[in-house]
Amino acid sequence: GSRRSLLEAPDGESLAGYGVGFTAKITTSTGSQARIAIYDGTATTYSSYHTGGGGVETLTVSATLAAAATQCTFLIYVEADGTAYVDEAYGYFGQTSDALERDDFTETQVNPRYGSTLPPVLFLPEHGYGGQFIVYTKRPYTKYSEVTLMTGSDTVTIDAPLTIVATGALARAYEMAAASPKPGDTRQPRYAQLAADWNKRYEGLAKKHLYQEQDEGKRSMIKKSYSIPARRYR
C-alpha cells in the first residue's frame, strides 16, 4: 500500500496521544479490495472496505495514537487484483467528519466602492446594459454552530434585504446610465442627480443594516465570527 508518516504537526507539537483521522475518496469495481488505515508504530486501525460498486466512496478512519507512539502513518491498502483510484486523501486531527472538504472556503472578488465612508456591507458590481445584478454581501450574519459547520449541514437560510438591494440597484443603474450615455441622449445630468439621490437612500439603509439592537438600547456593530476548520495535511 501507499503511506505517509507524520508524527510531528507543522506547529511543532507531537501527535502522540492525540486523536487523528484519515479520509480518502476511492473508486474501484472490486469489493473488499481497497481500504485505508492509521498506524502508530504499534497498532493499526482500519476503515471499512470499498464496496466495489464502481462508484466513488469516501472512506474514513480515526484512531487515538498511543502516548508512546513512534509514528503516525496513513496507509492506503489495495489488497486484491484490479485497479483502484484514490483522490483527495487527507490526514487531520481535531473534531471533524467526512464533510472535511466543505471547510475549504474561498472568497469572490468584487469591485469595492472606494471613497465611501461606510463599511463594506453590500457590493453591486458594475456591468453593461441588459445584464443581471449579482449581489454580494459582507454583512456577518449569525455564525454556524460547530455541529452545523463540521457536519456540512446546509439548513441555514437567510434572505437578501430586498429594499436595500433594490435601492442600491437603482443607484448603480443611474450611475451607469450617466457614465455611458447612448448616442443622442442628453439626459446625463438628470441621471447623475438621480444616481446621487438613490445612493444617499442606499447608504442610509445599508448603514442601518450593519447594526442591530444590543443590551441597554445601544447599537453596536456586529463583529464577524470565524470558524476554524480542523487542520489537515495532504
CATH number at residue 48: 2.60.120.260
The residue range of the domain holding 175 is 122-226
- Looking at residue 19, its pLDDT comes to 86
Q: Which pLDDT value is given to residue 88?
A: 82
Q: Is residue 200 part of a domain?
A: yes
CA–CA distance, 17 with 20 (Å, rounded to integer): 9
**Same domain as 78, residue 9:** yes
Rounded to two decimals, what is the model's pTM?
A: 0.42
Question: Are 133 and 219 in the same domain?
Answer: yes
Q: Burial code of 110-148, b = ≥16 C-beta within 10 A, e = fewer?
A: beeeeeeeeeebbbbeeeeeeeeeeeebebeeeeeeeee
What band does 142 get if pLDDT is binned at 50, 70 and 90? low
Mean pLDDT of 19-26: 89
Residue scoring higher pLDDT (208 or 76): 76
CA torsion through residues 124, 126, 129, 131, sign:
negative
Domain boundary residue among 50, 77, 94?
94
Whether residues 90 and 149 share a domain: the answer is no
In a domain, 114, yes or no: no
Q: Are residues 131 and 217 in the same domain?
A: yes
pLDDT above 80: residue 81? yes
Does residue 44 sit in the same domain as residue 126? no
pLDDT at 44 over 80: yes
Cβ pair 210, 222 in contact under 8 A = yes
> What is the domain count for the chain?
2
- Poorest-pLDDT segment among 36-50, 95-109, 114-128, 191-205: 95-109
For the chain, what's the residue count?
A: 234
Rg of the Cα trace of the chain?
Answer: 27
Q: Compute the mean pLDDT over every residue in the chain, rounded to the nearest whole number.
A: 71
Q: Any residues with CB less than 8 A from the CB of 54 and at least 6 apart, and which?
A: 27, 28, 29
> Please, are residues 86 and 1 in contact by the beta-carbon 8 Å criterion?
no
Grid cell digits, residue 205: 439603509
